[in-house]
Amino acid sequence: MKALIIAQNAGRIWCLLEGTYTITVDRMKRTLGLDDAAFFAAIGWLAREKKIYCSEDNGEWYISNKQPLGFFSFG
């Protein structure tokens, strides 16, 4: 996968988070139409830049661009 495509998908994820702040991984993938490889490559890009946070609740993973209580960063 080319870096430009990963960056574009990371930008799409970021724009979605700007409107929702917190969203489940499954819903985000469906909304953006990304497969696992494209999604996790883009999430890795954002995580490396320390721009996203993650949480798990009852087996459901959540991603946020803010750090709500109980969320952790990747860095």
pLDDT digits (tens, 9 = 90+) for 8-23: 999 999 999 999 889 9
Distance CA 42, CA 8 (A): 8
Per residue in 26-50, pLDDT (tens digit) is: 999 999 999 999 999 999 999 999 9
Domains of the chain, each with CATH number or no CATH: 3-73 (1.10.10.10)
Alpha helices in the chain (DSSP H): 3-20, 25-32, 36-48
